[in-house]
Amino acid sequence: MDIKEVIVVEGKDDTVAVKRATGADTIETNGSAVSDMTLQQIAHMQEKRGVIVFTDPDYPGKRIRAIIEERVPGVKHAFLDKKKAIAADGKGIGIEHAADADIRAALSAVYTRMDADTESWNITADELIASRLMLHPSSRQRRERLGRQLKIGYANAKGLQKRLKMFGITQEQFKEAVRILDQEDSYD
């Protein structure tokens, strides 16, 4: 896998996993207290080669993503499904626990934040309700599956609406993903 961008990860174990899976270069944030020096490095790499933020699918990873997004606009994002990031002993979660194939799959489906207010990117709360992604007993599970399908990670209902818009998921992409969810549900 040939990745020209620099991958931003949380720590050394993540770097080892990404290098093993892809050979890509990394920058480590060394936890969720991202230093100004690290943010400057990320900004410099964004200008030179581009950056893909690839953090753990947990709260600290989400926090790091938000800090970087605020300070370095235009970075790309890759998401690893939480189920694919769990340690074999079940006691840890992180990129370092993922299989090489799962890391490659996540890094092959990157998103760049969209700042457009285009209607096609504005999935409404009513559409989330109608799609059983909000205010329904199975909403959480459907949002988890939708996040995996679109490769945008899990989010609560409010976060999902924001993430769909942020990554420019069109009405067509959303409707197709919901159609697949409904089809899967009909087989259960």
pLDDT in tens, 53-97: 999 999 999 999 999 999 998 999 999 999 999 999 989 999 999
Distance CA 140, CA 172 (A): 22
Which of the four pLDDT bands, split at 50, 70 and 90, describes residue 188?
Answer: low
Q: What is the pLDDT of residues 116-138, one digit of tens each?
A: 554 446 899 999 999 999 999 99
Q: What is the pLDDT of residues 135-174, one digit of tens each?
A: 999 999 999 999 999 988 889 999 999 889 888 888 899 9
Tell me the two tokens of residue 83: 């189920």
Q: What is the pTM of this model?
A: 0.81
Distance CA 136, CA 110 (A): 29
Tell me the two tokens of residue 16: 């080892």
Instruction: Please report, for the chain, the start and end positions of each structural domain, with discontinuous segments joined by +.
Output: 6-112, 119-187
* Beta-sheet pairing, 76-77 with 111-112: antiparallel
**Which CATH code of 3.30.420.40, 3.40.1360.10, 1.10.1740.10, 2.60.40.180 fits the domain covering 6-112?**
3.40.1360.10
Q: What is the pLDDT of residues 31-59, one digit of tens each?
A: 888 999 999 999 999 999 999 999 999 99
| pLDDT (0 to 100) of residue 19 | 97
Q: What is the mean pLDDT of residues 166-184?
A: 92
Neighbours of 25 (CB within 10 A): 15
DSSP string of the chain, one letter each residue:
----SEEEESSHHHHHHHHHHH---EEE--SSS--HHHHHHHHHHHHHT-EEE---SSHHHHHHHHHHHHHSTT-EE----GGGGB-TTSS-BSGGGS-HHHHHHHHTS-EE------GGG---HHHHHHTTSSSSTTHHHHHHHHHHHHTS----HHHHHHHHHHTT--HHHHHHHHHHHHHHHHH-
Residue 14 CA from chain centroid, whole number: 15
Mean pLDDT, rounded, of the chain:
92
Which of the four pLDDT bands, split at 50, 70 and 90, describes residue 1?
Answer: confident
